[in-house]
A and B are shown apart, each in its own frame.
Chain A
């Protein structure tokens, strides 16, 4: 089967959920194509999990809808559910079962039979390295195994769409890496939505990211595009000995292309951050100017922009309001 990339598999259309008079999710729209991993970011309580619960048909939307491969979750919930693999918040599991029985049960409910079922269950066991715990009671497993078992359950029927609510939460760095690698391996044929707090994860696996806050979409773009919105995007970071720091700061601040310079002292070293006007690239001219004026700096580089700054810029004003 040829990967038909570019097909819109997830189409979230003005999804809204009100609990009483509070809108937990308010008119959120986005889409995910085949072969794409979308990072779903936002502070705790922003509405990420509620949105995912609506996409997967666990909660009914107050208004708006989600379409999975063309099937509308409001009118064709069964078709939607059959196409989705879902890891809910906190990776809930039947604690009284064994991983083996649990995966077999999931595969059965998903309509897999006989050889095919056996093969798929074995495959996800291998993919998520669950071999050593197959016959233990789920409630006795470590957090890492539980999370991976939850992922195995979401993958067992090889769905086109994966909705994963914090898939790497509770995993150690090696396990996180393994899960990210797995997601990269399977993504060509799937549309994947991942909610996360970890901005490094966005860089590691996401093609695009959306940020929501208080139930409203506040940002969207590729990681690079989002970074460009950071306050420190294209800022020039300079490291130099403390005694020449103030002089250098004065020279740079006087340049017409530079908006302001922020110095921070680190013992014998001083760190200057120069913010160019309009986030224009300015490292070359700053370097040339300093050299021309005989200032010897140890290091000079351009900041790409930090995702966490963008995240805070986009989500903090409303919190303070």
Chain B
């Protein structure tokens, strides 16, 4: 545990050692605001809630989370520092979890930077703060799930750009898995079990349930177990590459 946090701290510091972190945070905060106020028509809706803000959240994540996740392992492979890290008395899961936690903390910070919108809506009216809180929790969980997936894919390559591109594709698939168009297409070619599986593992539908105000344990567990699964595979990839 202790080593996991030491690794997480180093990793988190690494984000801030380049301008990338600041560019990311500013872009994210600005985009989240712009989506909410302009594209989402926050004022013209005349409703004291953050529904528009959270509607766009998954799509912002889709572009930005792979950018956070891409460097986690690909960069270590490219520079060879993975050899330093993995020959220290560190277990694979400590390294995987430590790196993931750093990225997750970073997305948490990004989310935290959007809270002025929450204050604004409270100033303008009386929103259901319970729903907004649940939605923040859902956003954080979904960010974690996307990041775990990106981290896992980043372990496959030494090229950050490749890691970024395949992460966007994979995250996009997880996101839209439950969309009608996907399900309808799938229904023609795959048995019902698979269709149900794909439909039920869609990020958007789990995210949607929570943002509608139902902080269901099942949806939270879904994201948490997805994170666990991805990190497990992430560790396996590291182990397999060791034997190759």
A108 within 8 A of B: yes
Chain A residues near B182 (CB, 8 Å)?
none
B17 within 8 A of A: yes
Q: Which residue of B lies closest to A91 (CB)?
A: B80
Residues of chain A at the chain B interface (Cβ within 8 Å): 19, 53, 56-60, 78, 81-82, 84, 86, 88-90, 92-97, 101, 105-106, 108-111, 137, 153
Chain A residues near B27 (CB, 8 Å)?
none
Taking the closest CB of chain B, its distance from the CB of A195, in whole angstroms, is 14
**Interface flags, B73-100, vs A, CB<8A=1, else 0:** 0000001110110111111000000000
Pairwise interchain contact A57-B81, C-beta atoms closer than 8 A = no
Chain A residues near B89 (CB, 8 Å)?
78, 81-82, 109-111
Pairwise interchain contact B81-A106, C-beta atoms closer than 8 A = no
Pairwise interchain contact B88-A110, C-beta atoms closer than 8 A = yes
Number of interface residues of B (CB under 8 A): 22
Pairwise interchain contact A58-B81, C-beta atoms closer than 8 A = no
Taking the closest CB of chain B, its distance from the CB of A95, in whole angstroms, is 7
Of B3-11, B107-115, B129-137, B223-231, the stretch lying at the interface with chain A is B3-11
Pairwise interchain contact A92-B87, C-beta atoms closer than 8 A = no
B14 within 8 A of A: yes
B218 within 8 A of A: no
The one of A96, A106, A111 that contacts B18, using a Cβ cutoff of 8 Å? A96
Chain A residues near B191 (CB, 8 Å)?
none
Pairwise interchain contact B87-A101, C-beta atoms closer than 8 A = no
Interface of B is mostly: helix
**Interface flags, B198-225, vs A, CB<8A=1, else 0:** 0000000000000000000000000000
Which 4 pairs show the lowest CB-CB distances between chains A and B?
A92-B80, A96-B17, A82-B89, A88-B83
Instruction: Given A56-B87, A78-B91, verify A88-B79 contact (CB < 8 Å).
Output: no
The one of B3, B14, B88 that contacts A96, using a Cβ cutoff of 8 Å? B14
Besides A81-B87, A84-B87, 19 other CB < 8 A contacts? Answer: A56-B87, A57-B86, A59-B242, A78-B91, A81-B90, A82-B89, A86-B87, A88-B84, A89-B83, A90-B80, A92-B83, A93-B84, A94-B14, A95-B79, A96-B14, A96-B18, A109-B7, A109-B89, A137-B17
Pairwise interchain contact B6-A108, C-beta atoms closer than 8 A = yes
Q: Which residue of A lies closest to B79 (CB)?
A: A92
Chain B residues near A90 (CB, 8 Å)?
80
State the CA gap A78–B243 with chains docked (Å): 17
Pairwise interchain contact B87-A57, C-beta atoms closer than 8 A = yes
Interface of A is mostly: loop
Pairwise interchain contact A60-B243, C-beta atoms closer than 8 A = yes
Q: Which residue of B lies closest to A59 (CB)?
A: B242
B13 within 8 A of A: yes
Chain A residues near B80 (CB, 8 Å)?
88-90, 92
State the CA gap A164–B3 with chains docked (Å): 24
Taking the closest CB of chain B, its distance from the CB of A108, in whole angstroms, is 5
Taking the closest CB of chain A, its distance from the CB of B98, in whole angstroms, is 10
Q: Which residue of B lies closest to A139 (CB)?
A: B79
Instruction: Given A19-B244, A82-B89, verify A101-B7 contact (CB < 8 Å).
Output: no
Chain B residues near A78 (CB, 8 Å)?
89, 91
Taking the closest CB of chain B, its distance from the CB of A3, in whole angstroms, is 24
Can you list 17 residue pairs at the A/B interface with Cβ under 8 Å?
A: A57-B87, A58-B87, A58-B242, A60-B242, A81-B90, A88-B84, A90-B80, A92-B80, A92-B83, A94-B81, A97-B10, A97-B14, A108-B6, A109-B3, A109-B6, A109-B90, A153-B84
Pairwise interchain contact B88-A106, C-beta atoms closer than 8 A = yes
State the CA gap A57–B80 with chains docked (Å): 15
Pairwise interchain contact A93-B244, C-beta atoms closer than 8 A = no
**Interface flags, B153-186, vs A, CB<8A=1, else 0:** 0000000000000000000000000000000000
State the CA gap A155–B87 with chains docked (Å): 14
State the CA gap A60–B86 with chains docked (Å): 12
Instruction: Given A90-B80, A93-B81, verify A105-B10 contact (CB < 8 Å).
Output: yes
State the CA gap A86–B7 with chains docked (Å): 18
Chain A residues near B83 (CB, 8 Å)?
53, 58, 88-89, 92
State the CA gap A96–B17 with chains docked (Å): 6
Chain B residues near A101 (CB, 8 Å)?
10, 13
Chain A residues near B91 (CB, 8 Å)?
78
Q: Which residue of B lies closest to A88 (CB)?
A: B83
Instruction: Given A97-B14, A109-B3, A109-B89, verify A92-B84 contact (CB < 8 Å).
Output: yes
